[in-house]
Amino acid sequence: MSQSVVKGSELKLKIESLAYGGKGVARHQNFVIFVNNALPGEYVLVFIYKIRSGYAEARVIETLSESPYNVNPKCNHFSVCGGCSTQNLEYDEQIKQKIKQVEDIYIRQAGIDNFIIENVVHAENQYHYRNKMEFSFSNRPWYLDGEEKNNPKFALGLHVPRRYDKIVDIEECHIQDKDFNKILDLVRTEAIKNEIKPYDNKTNNGYLRHLMLRKGYYTEELMVNIVTSYENPSKLKPIINSIINHFPNIQSIVNNINTRKADVAYGEKEINLHGDSFIRERLGDITYEISANSFFQTNSEQAVKLFETVQHYLDLKGDEIIFDLFCGTGSISLFLAKLTKEIYGFDVIKSAIEDATRNSVINGIGNAKFHKVNLDTYFKKGRNIEDYPTPDALIIDPPRSGVHKNMLKSLPKFKANKIVYVSCNPTTQARDIVRLIHWGWKLQSMTLVDMFPHTPHIETVALLKK
Ligand SMILES: C[S@@+](CC[C@H](N)C(=O)[O-])C[C@H]1O[C@@H](n2cnc3c(N)ncnc32)[C@H](O)[C@@H]1O
């Protein structure tokens, strides 16, 4: 290790690139230093606050010269909100950095030779793309410069990075649908005016916990889900009335009750306060009914491109049997069903499978079947595989942790020649693909679909063939 990289020291560094996750990468005499909130091409004076085996972590004391890719962030909350940490980086450079990160993970970390990303699907709309947002209420707001507004004990917004107890009071967020900004304002105004108290996650007192907003990008149907710590919907009346006054066509207002300590935006019970308990979204020629707690892709425009990439990789002739492992609400299965002989979706969440089944009926799809199973164990050592016809191809879209080892080891037993692996975490995707290559598959092609502009999140689709 270089002598001069010691905890507590200051160094001048040139930022070379962004690491997966968004930190700047610099080197001092070949020792790697990860720098928070730094851009490629920037020249910075940093403070080393942590030394680990093989690398150090640092924060910027002073920017000595700006990155050539630096742009003014649109958002007023940029410096405190962790939501869009690369909003100050030119969009094309964001994409270049994401490509480099995936290449680094596959080539250097996973040791896969001849790796290339064949196709990159940029986002045409880099703002107002999110069809869903989850905000938190708090009595511990976080203001810049210690400024206290009219109501110092109320905030509705997003978490300060690494501070579970502090919430940035968000006035305007540029990556969400524009209606969401208006609803944030209405809910905040009515809650303060009527003294409806935010929940305090230290004492477990208070009522308002989360505000979840959803809107069909292609249908414009709107859902408001207010998550509270106990059941007393009459308390929400002023908020509900104000939302209905301003959005008379609103499709759905629900109240989820979460009495547990876990800081999550879904509850043990849901009360329907206005309209339906779902909204509709339309991707391609499929209509999806989505309820408050169901997973749905958050960028509808890019989701269509993601599903078209899966379709392109499967190269369907119409007589194939397809398994969609980790199918969620069946969005990919339903998008492709009419091009297949049969498609089988598997997911552990009961409501997701119910949504998928209902959505197949709504769309008149008779050849998609959905099963609620825990894939960590269901097909372990090849169990239950014989209950299904032999698939021609597998679609795999697991959570960030990747495919559980029991499920992964069973994949060769399905005897499918083709696998299309969709992932929101290239690190676990590369780990799993190394195993698949070991068992005889070849990594044929890779596409990066940018689902999340201005954030470090990466979505990749891999095609593997026997
Ligand atoms: C990235 S989402 C896939 C979403 C889906 N392909 C879509 O586009 O809507 C991952 C899914 O894995 C499911 N999941 C997580 N762990 C699971 C398990 N052990 N068994 C089955 N499904 C699981 C989650 O419920 C979630 O729906």
Give the Cα separation of 267 and 191 in Å (integer).
20
Confidence of residue 262 (pLDDT cuts 50, 70, 90): confident
Lowest average pLDDT, out of 3-12, 93-102, 344-353, goes to 3-12
Provide the pLDDT for residue 2.
Answer: 46
Model-level pTM?
0.92
- Domains of the chain: residue spans and CATH: 10-65 (2.40.50.140), 132-282 (2.40.50.1070), 299-465 (3.40.50.150)
Confidence of residue 314 (pLDDT cuts 50, 70, 90): very high
Whether ligand 1 lies within 6 angstroms of the CB of 405 is answered as no
What is the average per-residue pLDDT within 376-398? 97
Residue 151 has pLDDT above 60, yes or no: no
What is the average per-residue pLDDT within 75-98? 90
* Residue 216 alpha carbon to ligand 1 centre in Å: 21
HSE-up (13 A, CA, CB side) for residue 297 = 29
Provide the pLDDT for residue 3.
Answer: 53
Three-state SS at 421: strand
Q: How many residues does the chain have?
A: 466
Read off the pLDDT of residues 324-366 as tens digits, 9 standing for 90 and up: 999 999 999 999 999 999 999 999 988 889 999 999 999 999 9
Whether ligand 1 lies within 6 angstroms of the CB of 161 is answered as no
Residue 277 has pLDDT above 80, yes or no: yes
Which residue's CA is the closest to the ligand 1 atom numbered 13? 326
Which residue's CA is the closest to the ligand 1 atom numbered 17? 348
Average pLDDT of the chain? 93
Give the Cα separation of 172 and 347 in Å (integer).
35
Contact criterion met (CB below 8 Å) for 332 and 397 = yes
Residue 149 has pLDDT above 60, yes or no: no
Residue 324 CA: nearest ligand 1 atom is 6
Give the Cα separation of 12 and 26 in Å (integer).
10
* Residue 295 alpha carbon to ligand 1 centre in Å: 8
Residue 97 parent element (H or E): helix 91-103
Whether ligand 1 lies within 6 angstroms of the CB of 304 is answered as no
Largest CA distance in the chain: 68
Percent residues over pLDDT 90 in the chain? 83
DSSP count for the chain of H helices, then E strands: 8, 24
Give the Cα separation of 158 and 82 in Å (integer).
8
Residues labelled catalytic: 424
What is the average per-residue pLDDT within 157-173? 82
Strand-pair partners of 420: 395, 463
Give the Cα separation of 80 and 142 in Å (integer).
8
User: What is the end-to-end Cα distance of the chain in Å, rounded?
Assistant: 44
Strand-pair partners of 386: none
Nearest 5°: the CA angle 426, 104, 100 is 90
What is the average per-residue pLDDT within 138-167? 72
Whether ligand 1 lies within 6 angstroms of the CB of 320 is answered as no
